[in-house]
Amino acid sequence: MSEWEAPAKINLDLRLRPPDRSGLHPLHSYFQAVEWLDRLVVEEGDEDGLVVEGADLPDDEDNLVWKAVAALDLRDRPPLHMELHKSIAVAAGLGGGSSDAAAALAAVGEMLSVDPERIRAAAPRVGADVPFFLTGGTALVEGHGEQITPVEPLSGFAVAIVVPPFELATPEVYRRWDELDGPTGPELAGSDLPPPLRRRFDELRNDLVPAAVSLRPELADWMHDLGEAWEQTVLMSGSGPACFGFFLDVGEAEDALDEVGEHRAAKAAELRTRGVGRRED
């Protein structure tokens, strides 16, 4: 039996281009893994089975965990019993499902001695964010998510993440972005960033914010109210609706979360320097 950690991510910066011939949107985004973790337990069993705790998700082939196993295209593999313990909010722009899939690739790959190159090749077939979670840390992600360039890990701050009490479906947000003719997101000037970020970025933005707000106008109120309470500009991760702000440490981030009203989920999180990995005692 092996137990694996699957972290969430935030998009520090997310810039899109219109769909290319593949129908997908090329992106240029800086991803940051954070210490908000799902857990995946994998062992051989009498028959294939997946138990999901903590979220209302399918346990059959529609779950990204099973899609990851299928993408490895393993012949004569043993039956697998897996348990997925969800903590990361779903449909929030935090990549939890993709991280779970990456954990399944890594766990099954290690169990069955799968060539690492085969694992890396399978990842983008499962989902655009899956390759990042095999690497984690701080990375520039380009193309359709398959081009991962690790950069010097960020440190020196923590994040407070809040998920408003509604969901946004990623395909719907991208469709709305197209309908709006590809707007750019509001910019956060580098002068307003913590020093570790200020040294790297002139500005940060998320081009999906206008589309997300168009679908759920209350998101704009959430971002405004959080910004007022935290005395800073709040950013959105991925396709939303998760919002986050920067703080000196986890303690300060936890204090900031005390000021938040009704929400679906929240986490004060440290930055994580790796992706999926075996759980450390």
Q: What is the 3-state secondary structure (H, E, C) of 223-281?
A: HHHHHHHHCCCCEECCCCCCEEEEECCHHHHHHHHCCCCCCCEEEEEEECCCCCEECCC
pLDDT score, position 281:
67
CATH class of 158-270: alpha beta
* pLDDT number for residue 192: 87
How far is it, in rounded angstroms, from Cα 208 to Cα 180? 11
pTM as predicted: 0.96
Residue 109 structure tokens: 């790959």
Whether 62 is a known active-site residue: answer no
- Would you state the pLDDT for residue 280? 78
The two domains 2-150 and 158-270 share their CATH topology (first three levels equal): no
pLDDT along the chain (281 residues), means of 10: 97 97 95 98 96 97 97 95 98 97 98 96 96 98 96 96 96 97 94 91 97 98 96 96 97 96 95 95 67
Burial class (CB in 10 A: 0-12, 13-18, 19+), 55: middle
Cis peptide before 241 (omega within 30 of 0): yes
For 72, 201, 202, 212, 235, the CA distances from 188, given in Å and listed in that order, are 41, 10, 9, 17, 8
Please tell me the distance from the alpha carbon of residue 187 to that of residue 207, in angstroms, as a whole number: 9
Q: Which of 38, 129, 207, 267 is catalytic?
A: 129
Domain ranges of the chain: 2-150, 158-270
Query: Which tokens belong to 203?
Result: 């500005």
Q: Architecture of 2-150 per CATH?
A: 2-Layer Sandwich (3.30)
Catalytic residue among 9, 67, 86, 267: 9
Concerning whether 67 is annotated as a catalytic residue, the answer is no
